[in-house]
A = this chain, B = another copy of it.
Amino acid sequence: MSNTVEFGLDTFGDVTADDDGALLPQAEVIRNVVDEAVLADQLGIDFIGVGEHHRNDFAVSTPETVLAGIATRTNRIKLGSAVTVLSSDDPIRVFQRFSTVDALSNGRAEVILGRGSFTESFPLFGFQLSDYETLFTEKLDLFAALLKGEPVSWQGSIRPPLKDQSVYPPIETGTLKTWIGVGGSPESVVRAARYNLPLMLAIIGGNPQRFRPYVDLYHQALDQLGGAKQPIGVHSPGYVADTDEQAREELWPHYKKMHGQEDARPHRRRTRLAADLTGLLQFGGRSRFALCRLARNGGAQDSGDREGTGGFALPDEIFVRPAAAREDDALHRTLRLEGHTDGARSHRVRSP
């Protein structure tokens, strides 16, 4: 296990507004996501993750289809879901689509499997929320079987049994990197360890230090189960400007709007912002991102540097993946890729 840190961007295809404040069509948002991924590829960002939702405020309902469109226009960036809601999908279809994205991208596909923090996909695809646990447990078990790349025999309660079933196309290299997305359930952490799959922590807000116990639990479980060491990733909203102060000032009006309904008392909101901003690794001036980059290039072995990234000690193997901040288009639009360019502030790139 190396101490490499990778740096990525996640997006849900947040529906953004044009300069007059009118919401863009979802189709245009999807094309913008592709263009942003192309720019990220050119800038050396390690990973782009595309989420799955079934709502009017997020344009991506089928991440692999968008990733396939990105795959043939990029050369180096890794392509993943963030997350694939496995509970309401078919594990064989998910495997086939990611294997195809892997083919299209010459081996750059990664899948992050989760149960989803939204539940709108359940009624949409005819599943019962009462089966929430069974659906994910069994589907993950089948998916893990598919990852072995051999004919699959499998039996469970959610579908008729499979016997010596080959699934096409096979993964070209034999290995599809498969993460388990975890929002804060210890059971999910242990499950990831049991299948010896990498762990992706979804830190939506607040102090990320509270996720440290999950990292320790994961390591303990891997040790006890005798599994190989695996990487850990963090998904978190983010915002980048030239300096911490500028980031704070620019973010505030959008942050206020986003959290306005949750707590109507202004001082409480301001307190919460302060807490979030302290905790969010992905917030702040370029220097913080420079630290991330430094960490990726070996600096992660220097705990002093790591402590400098906002108070969150990076595990040696952590993947740093800030998310596109959601639910506010101005926030979203300002986030993209800034801080990773040298002076360029334009993120609304379009193909010629």
Residues of A whose CB lies within 8 Å of any CB of B are 25-28, 30-31, 34, 53-56, 58-62, 64-66, 68-73, 89-90, 92-93, 96-97, 99-104, 106, 123-126, 159-160, 162, 165-172
Copies of this polypeptide in the complex: 2
When C-beta atoms are compared, the residue in chain B nearest to A127 turns out to be B160
Question: Is the beta-carbon distance between B169 and A31 smaller than 8 angstroms?
Answer: no
When C-beta atoms are compared, the residue in chain B nearest to A66 turns out to be B100
Question: Is the beta-carbon distance between B72 and A30 smaller than 8 angstroms?
Answer: no
Known contacts A92-B125, A103-B31, A160-B123: does B68 contact A168 (CB below 8 Å)? Answer: no
CB < 8 Å neighbour of A26 from B72, B103, B124: B103
How near does chain B come to A48, taking the closest CB pair, in angstroms? 14
Question: Is the beta-carbon distance between A93 and B62 smaller than 8 angstroms?
Answer: yes
How near does chain B come to A89, taking the closest CB pair, in angstroms? 8
Which chain B residues lie closer than 8 Å to A160 at the CB level? Answer: 123, 126
In angstroms, Cα B106 to Cα A28, docked, is 9
Known contacts A68-B69, A70-B72, A101-B65: does B31 contact A168 (CB below 8 Å)? Answer: no
Write 27 A-B pairs (CB below 8 A) sorted by A numbering. A26-B103, A26-B172, A27-B102, A27-B169, A27-B170, A27-B172, A28-B172, A30-B103, A31-B103, A34-B104, A59-B103, A59-B168, A59-B169, A60-B169, A65-B96, A65-B101, A66-B100, A68-B68, A72-B73, A90-B125, A92-B124, A92-B125, A93-B93, A123-B160, A124-B162, A124-B167, A126-B159
Which chain B residues lie closer than 8 Å to A99 at the CB level? Answer: 27
Which chain B residues lie closer than 8 Å to A102 at the CB level? Answer: 27
Which chain B residues lie closer than 8 Å to A167 at the CB level? Answer: 54, 61, 124
Which chain B residues lie closer than 8 Å to A93 at the CB level? Answer: 62, 89, 93, 125
Known contacts A62-B96, A96-B62, A124-B92: does B68 contact A30 (CB below 8 Å)? Answer: no
Q: List 20 other contacts, CB 8 Å, given A58-B168, A59-B103, A90-B125.
A: A26-B172, A27-B172, A28-B103, A30-B103, A53-B168, A56-B168, A59-B168, A59-B169, A60-B169, A61-B168, A62-B64, A62-B96, A62-B97, A65-B68, A65-B104, A66-B104, A69-B104, A72-B72, A72-B73, A123-B165
Question: Is the beta-carbon distance between A26 and B170 smaller than 8 angstroms?
Answer: yes
In angstroms, Cα B352 to Cα A243, docked, is 40
In angstroms, Cα B35 to Cα A104, docked, is 11
CB < 8 Å neighbour of A65 from B64, B124, B170: B64
Known contacts A27-B172, A54-B168, A73-B73: does B100 contact A61 (CB below 8 Å)? Answer: yes
How near does chain B come to A137, taking the closest CB pair, in angstroms? 17
Question: Is the beta-carbon distance between A69 and B72 smaller than 8 angstroms?
Answer: yes
How near does chain B come to A232, taking the closest CB pair, in angstroms? 29
Which chain B residues lie closer than 8 Å to A159 at the CB level? Answer: 125-126
How near does chain B come to A131, taking the closest CB pair, in angstroms? 12
Among A58, A59, A68, A104, chain B packs the most CB atoms within 10 A around the CB of A68
Known contacts A70-B72, A168-B54: does B100 contact A30 (CB below 8 Å)? Answer: yes
Which chain B residues lie closer than 8 Å to A106 at the CB level? Answer: 31
Among A31, A100, A162, chain B packs the most CB atoms within 10 A around the CB of A100
Question: Is the beta-carbon distance between A26 and B123 smaller than 8 angstroms?
Answer: no
